[in-house]
Structure 1
Amino acid sequence: MFEPRLALASLSGRSDAAWARRASEHAGAALLGGIALDEPSREAARELVARDREEFLPPDPLAFVDDQLAALSEAPIRPGFNLRASTPAPISEAATICRAYDAICEINAHCRQEELCTVGCGETLLRDTDRLCEYVRAAAAEGATVSVKVRAEVEGVDLAETARAVERAGADAIHVDAMDSEGVIRDVADAADLFVIANNGVRDAASVREYLAYGADAVSVGRPSDDPQVLARVGETVDRLAREARA
């Protein structure tokens, strides 16, 4: 899906094309966004901004997705976009744009802010597998490469079951924020034939080795994605382990 197998995880209001380009020396993929696509999710994002959270709120979110991906068309990194919407229809539209740039269309079933959950975004999708699969099918129908961003430690959610369901719906990858339950990566990797991206606490060689030992295909870096020293450490480890695996 991408090489080297280090991704940059989206950071609300900060993860744009310039951010991705700065880290392209070390990472194989960059997931821009998150971006709210429809009016309910945009209103939730405005409420988040009102309480001092950074969010992308361009006048036309789909045009923003297109512009940002176009800006990376010649960059040595595979782009993607982390997407939020209250219904599947805007996801379908964004997936068409992602397909045109060979970008990853990442459905956000991860965010837990009350404002987003109230309008049916983020973690509410994780708690409602049928709805989440509707979003996956909408994106997959447009021919996009589909990832689903999820989190561990959500009461009542079995991520292994989620992985099997989204795979049947047409997902290609699952991006797992392991929280403090790193072993959940093994459960997900064993449950489905998806490309598994492990996130949370990826800072050094030890954390990379741990996640890959659990069966992750790649790792992602969130908050330190603008720290060249962290990216260099993680990127070098990913490269070295890949060479060892090929030897």
Structure 2
Amino acid sequence: MFAPRLALASLSGESDADWALTAEEYVGAAFLGGVALDATTRTAARELVARDRTEFLPENPVAFIDRELSALDGASLRAGVNVRTTTIAPLREAARVCASHGAILEVNAHCRQDELCAVGAGETLLRDTDRLAEYVAAAAEKRPTVSVKVRAEVEGVSLPALAQRLETAGADILHVDAMDSEPVIREVREACDCFLVANNGVRDRETVEEYLEYGADAVSVGRPSDNPAVLSRVRVALDAPEARR
């Protein structure tokens, strides 16, 4: 899927092509975004900006995705784009653009900001399995590699059961924020054959080895993505002979 098995996880309003290129020597993939695709999620994103969060709010989100991916076409890393939406049409367009660049389209079922959850985006999709599976299937129609970013510790949500449903719908990658429940990675691994990216607290050899032991295919870093010392430690751990399988 990508090598080395280290990805940069998207950071709201910060993760663009320049951000990815800064860490290119360490990583195999970088998820840009998140990008609000439709009017509903864009309104929610503006509300987030109003309370001092950073968000990408280009005039044309799909054109923005195309420009950012074009800037990475010659890079050694594999690009991905994390997107938020409540409607399918712009999702299909974003998926088409990702496919044209050989990039990963990542459906965001992860954000827990109140404004996004209130409109039915982000984490709320974890409880709306039918709609999330519909989004995955719609994206897969355009033939990009499809990822879904999810999180653990959401009341009433079984990630292993969800993983099976999303794999059937066409997901190639599950990008799992384990929160404080790292063993959930093993449960998801046993439930599906998707490429599994483990996220949360990845900082050093110990955390890398833990996630690999649970069955992760790769790991991702978020907040430390601009810290070369952290990225170097994680990359060295992933390159160690005992980490290869």
Please, what TM-score do these two structures have when normalized by structure 2? Answer: 0.98
User: Shift of the alpha carbon at 1:162?
Assistant: 0.6
Alpha-carbon displacement from aligned partner over 1:156-213 (angstroms, at most 9, x marks no partner): 0000001000000000010000000000000001100100000000000000000000
- Counterpart for residue 45 of structure 1: 45
Alignment RMSD, CA only? Answer: 0.9
Partners in 2 of 1:17 and 1:118 — Cα distance?
Answer: 29
SS of corresponding position for 2:83: strand
User: Shift of the alpha carbon at 1:241?
Assistant: 4.2
Partners in 2 of 1:99 and 1:241 — Cα distance?
Answer: 33
2:58 is aligned with 1:58:
yes
- Counterpart for residue 192 of structure 1: 192
SS of corresponding position for 2:112: coil
SS of corresponding position for 1:67: helix
Query: Which segments of 5 or more consecutive residues in structure 1 lack a partner in the other structure?
Result: none
SS of corresponding position for 2:48: helix
What amino acid maps onto 1:212 in structure 2? Answer: L
2:244 is aligned with 1:245:
yes
| Number of equivalenced pairs | 245
Please say if residues 95 and 105 of structure 2, whose CA atoms lie closer than 8 Å, have aligned partners that are also in contact: yes
- Counterpart for residue 121 of structure 2: 121
What amino acid maps onto 2:160 in structure 1? Answer: A
User: Shift of the alpha carbon at 1:117?
Assistant: 1.0
- Counterpart for residue 104 of structure 1: 104
Please, what TM-score do these two structures have when normalized by structure 1? Answer: 0.98
Identity of aligned residues (%): 65
Please say if residues 37 and 90 of structure 2, whose CA atoms lie closer than 8 Å, have aligned partners that are also in contact: yes
Aligned structure 1 segments of 4 or more residues deviating by more than 4 angstroms: none
User: Shift of the alpha carbon at 1:245?
Assistant: 3.0
- Counterpart for residue 164 of structure 1: 164
